Structure 1
Amino acid sequence: MTRITLPRPDDWHLHLRDGAMMRAVLPETTRDFARALIMPNLVPPVVTAAQATAYRDRILAAMPEGADFQPLMTLYLTEETEAADLRAAAESGLITAVKLYPAGATTNSASGVSDFTRVKPVLETMAEIGLPLCVHGEVTDPTVDIFDREAVFIDRVLDPIRREIAGLRVVMEHVTTRDAVDYVRAGGSDLAATITTHHLVINRNHILAGGIRPHYYCLPVAKREEHRRALVTAATSGEAAFFLGTDSAPHLDSAKLMPCGCAGCFTATNTLSILAEVFEAEGALERLEGFASRHGPGFYGLPVNEDRVTLEKGEPVSYPAAIATEDGPVTVFDPMMPLHWRVVA
């Protein structure tokens, strides 16, 4: 197979940032994707309907001329989130999901949740109206090893929440472990997971072996090879519970290359080429359509995009090493392998 056509994909986990950064990176997503679920961890975070409206308007104003792209907005869950405001935002169609960050888990998550009992009324409202909860699934307990924080989150936080609040629809975002894959498979129709482009490619050796490589540092951090293989198997399985959320997270190189560098991989530019390479290697190109274009809309209750994209296989594709912004470059994720698939239409 040297040519595949699929419904235009969606990205169910995307960081656009704001201002000059957003203007620089937004075209890298609108080129290939029809919709994206926009993360709300700005500074200050997007916690109210009014803030989500203003952020959406800034995104739309920054779109490249002729782009056909829909930002799907989220609210940042805090211990002060009001259920009435959240319900109104959902019922108006403004927001598609709510994002749960454990306080301190990742970039700009200081306003996240520390006491999960305080958000129970909001979660009950979400279960009532069918609004999905997207979770950054890691505990922040400093006594828990960073490579174990996803598995511990499932046991300590997520499973108790799901048992207590029946019908709550949950997306475990950017899963990184076999533990999470197994939990999603056993979780029923109310549970799904996004898998990132970079976690399909890298394991923890790529970050640490032979020298520290900050552009592969992300949160959740990449795990052992056995876990990466579990993610590849899940993504290419055809199972509807798994779909694409790139977690493409731009940071200036000056912020990545520091003694305490930022976490995140910027993959918006070359994601479709990487995915085609990964799926082809698994003999599963026919399942790329489900992972990239169908399973996400199915979980969120949205129509599959009518527009199509076509990828062709040929000579290796050359992508820019970095995207320029007004404040400096943002390095594009390097998958460390030739990419033979390119979007041609």
Structure 2
Amino acid sequence: MDRLTLRRPDDWHLHLRDGAMLKAVLPETARHFARALVMPNLVPPVVTAADAADYRDRILAAKPRGSDFRPLMTLYLTEDTQVPDLRAAAEIGLVTAVKLYPAGATTNSASGVKDFTKVRRVLENMAQIGLPLCVHGEVTDPEVDIFDREAVFIERVLDPIRRDIPGLRVVMEHITTADAVDYVRDGGDDLAATITTHHLVINRNHILAGGIRPHYYCLPVAKREVHRKALVAAATSGEARFFLGTDSAPHLDAAKLMPCGCAGCFTATNTLSILAEMFEREGALERLEGFTSLHGAAFYRVEPNDARIVLSKGEPVRYPPGILTEDGVVTMFDPGFPLHWRVEG
């Protein structure tokens, strides 16, 4: 097969930032994706309906001319989130999901939840109206090894929440372990997971072996090879509970290449080329459309996109090493192997 037609894909986990960064990175997503679930961890975060409306307007103003890209907004869950405001935002279709960051788990997560009993009423209301909760699934206890934080989060936090609040619809975002794959498979219809492009490609050796490679540093951090293989098997399985959320997270090189560098991989530009390469390796190209374009839409209860894109296989694609913003360079994720698939047009 050297040509593949897909329904236009959606990205169910995307960071667009704001200001100059937003203007620079948005075209990289809008070129290929019809919709994206936009993360709310700005400074200050998107915590109210008014915040979400204002941020949506800034995104729409930054769209390339002629683009029909649609941002799907999220609210940042805090211990002060107000139920009436959240319900009103959901009822008018302003927000598609609520994002749970354990405080301190990742970039701009200081406003996240520390005491989960304080958000119980919010979560109960979300279960009532069917509004999904997207979780950054890591504990932040400094005594827990960074490579174990996802598995411990499932045991200590997520499973108790789901048992206490039946019917809460949950997306485990950017899963990184076989433990998470198994938990999602056994979790019933109210549980799904996104898998990123970069976690399908790299394991922890890519970050640490032979020298530290900051452009592969992300949170949750990449794990052992056995876990990467479990993610690949899940993504290419055709199971509807797994779908694409790139977690494309742009940072200026000046912020990545420092003693305490930022976590995140910028994959918006070359994600579809990488995914086609990975799915072809697994003999699963016929399942790529489900992963990129169908499964997420089904879980979020929206129609899949009518428009199509075409990928063709040929000589290796030459992507630029990064993109230039008004404030500096953002380096693009390098999978470390040639990419033969490109999006036509």
Q: What TM-score, normalized by structure 2, do the two folds share?
A: 1.00
Aligned-residue Cα RMSD (Å) equals: 0.3
CA deviations on 1:161-201 (whole Å, 9 max, x unpaired) are 00000000000000000000000000000000000000000
Structure 2 residue runs without a partner (length 5+): none
Partner SS state of residue 148, structure 1: helix
* Alignment partner, residue 162 of structure 2: 162
In the TM superposition, 1:180-219 aligns within 5 A as: 180-219=180-219
Shift of 1:257: 0.1
Q: Which amino acid aligns with 1:315?
A: E
Match of 1:244 in 2: 244
The alignment status of 1:226 with 2:226, answered yes or no, reads yes
Work out whether 1:335 is the aligned partner of 2:331: no
Instruction: Report the 3-state secondary structure (helix = DSSP H, G, I; strand = E; otherwise coil) of the residue aligned with 2:260.
Output: coil
Aligned twin of 1:123: 123
* CA distance in structure 2 between the aligned counterparts of 1:84 and 1:67, rounded to whole angstroms: 33
Alignment of 1:23-42 (within 5 A): 23-42=23-42
Residue 284 of structure 1 is matched in structure 2 by 284
Cα distance between partner residues in 1 of 2:98 and 2:108:
16
Task: Output one character per residue of 1:273-315: Cα deviation in whole Å (capped at 9) or x when no partner.
Answer: 0000000000000000000000000000000000000000000
Indicate whether 1:55 and 2:55 are aligned: yes
CA distance in 2 between counterparts of 1:23 and 1:343 reads: 22
Cα offsets for 1:123-153 (capped at 9, x unmatched): 0000000000000000000000000000000
Q: What residue is the counterpart of 1:255 in the other structure?
A: 255
One-letter amino acid matched to 1:25: V
| SS of equivalent residue, structure 2 residue 126 | helix
CA distance in 2, matches of 1:130, 1:39: 19
2:100 alignment counterpart: 100
**Helix, strand or coil: the match of 1:153?**
helix
Q: Which amino acid aligns with 2:18?
A: D
* In 2, Cα distance between equivalents of 1:201 and 1:269: 16
Mapped to 1, the partners of 2:269 and 2:212 lie a distance apart of 23
In 1, Cα distance between equivalents of 2:68 and 2:338: 29
Distance 1:84 1:122 in 2: 9
Counterpart Cα distance in 2 of 1:341 and 1:225: 25
Q: Does 1:66 align with 2:52?
A: no
Query: Could you give the per-residue CA deviations for residues 34-59 of structure 1, whole angstroms, max 9, x where no partner exists?
Result: 00000000000000000000000000
Matched, 1:300 2:300: yes
Secondary structure in 1 matching 2:342 = strand
TM-score (structure 1 length as normaliser): 1.00
Identity %: 81
In 2, Cα distance between equivalents of 1:166 and 1:198: 32
Distance of 1:334 and 1:68 partners within structure 2? 28
**Residues of 2 paired with 1:192 and 1:37: CA distance?**
15
Deviation at 1:218, TM superposition (A): 0.1
Q: Which amino acid aligns with 1:305?
A: N
Runs of 4+ residues over 3 Å off in structure 1: none
Counterpart CA distance in 2 for 1:278 and 1:133 is 29
Q: Return the letter of the residue paired with 1:232.
A: V
Q: CA deviation at 1:68?
A: 1.2
Show the counterpart of 1:324.
324
Letter in 2 for 1:69: F
1:235 lines up with 2:240 in the alignment: no
Measured against aligned partners, the alpha-carbon deviations of 1:225-282 in whole angstroms (never above 9, x if no partner) come to 0000000000000000000000000000000000000000000000000000000000
> For 1:68 and 1:196, how far apart are their aligned partners in 2?
24
Question: Secondary structure at 1:193's aligned position in 2?
Answer: strand
Partner of 2:43: 43
- In 2, distance between residues paired with 1:34 and 1:92? 21
- The residue aligned with 1:268 is 268
Distance 1:81 1:250 in 2: 27
Matched AA of 1:203: N
- Residue 171 of structure 2: SS of its match in structure 1? strand
Give the distance between the partners of 2:214 and 2:222, measured in 1 at CA. 12
Separation in 1, partners of 2:48, 2:106: 21
The separation in 2 between residues aligned to 1:6 and 1:227, in whole angstroms, is 28
Amino acid at match of 2:231: L
Match of residue 109 from structure 1: 109
Aligned to 1:309: 309
2 CA distance for matches of 1:183 and 1:68?
36
